[in-house]
Amino acid sequence: MKLILGLTGLFQGQLSSINIAFNISLKFSLTLRVYYQQDGCGEVTKLYQLVLTTCPDETVAKNIAKHLVTEKLAACVNIIANITSVYNWQDELQCDNEVQLLIKTNEEKFVALNKRINQLHPYDVVEVIALNIQQGDMHYLNWITNSLK
């Protein structure tokens, strides 16, 4: 369970906001985190994510990107062509050209996003890795929120 209290006030003569988040787990431990936002940047109070996946080619990458954005599972997808991936697959060393997707979303969308990527992807084992965004420009993060509605 998460309880967020928001306060707005003056700090050093400027309007600021402070959010206090209480995370209460089933083990009844309490974690207190204070988020301070000033001048449009600061720690993130909502868990935004950067999700990584690789594709075999640009056609697959563009198809996945268009579906994710159109279906409001992602706010934006960057497509980076010509990366080289080195990995073991079925006990053999592989060295393949791939296309990297950088997907901006939030944690609420992750389960559906992961499922959709796996539906659209030709690989047997699909790389889907979510990294939590710790800080970011609040205008951009708000844009992500609005794009996912």
pLDDT digits (tens, 9 = 90+) for 57-114: 999 999 999 999 999 999 999 999 999 999 999 999 999 999 999 999 999 999 999 9
Q: Distance between CA 149 and CA 136 in Å, rounded?
A: 20
Q: How far apart are CA 116 and CA 71, in angstroms?
A: 10
Q: What does the pLDDT read at residue 42? A: 52
Q: Are 48 and 42 in contact (CB under 8 A)?
A: no
H or E segment to which residue 127 belongs: none
Neighbours of 92 (CB within 10 A): 7
Helix, strand or coil, per DSSP, at residue 72: coil
Q: Using one digit for the tens of pLDDT, what is the confidence trace for 100-110?
A: 999 999 999 99
CB-CB contact of 124 with 80 (8 Å): no
The full DSSP string for 8-54 is EEEETTEEEEEEEEEEE-TT--EEEEEEEEETTEEE-SS-EEEEEEE
Please report the pLDDT score of residue 15 as a whole number.
41
User: What tokens were used for 84?
Assistant: 């080289």
Burial of residue 62, with CB atoms counted within 10 A of its CB: 0-12 exposed, 13-18 middle, 19 or more buried: middle
Angle at 32 between CA 104 and CA 15, to 5 degrees: 70
* Average pLDDT of the chain, as a whole number: 80
Q: Which one is predicted more confidently, 42 or 51? A: 51
* Confidence bin at 131 (pLDDT 50/70/90): very high
Q: What is the dihedral of CA 107, 112, 114, 117, to 10 degrees?
A: -130
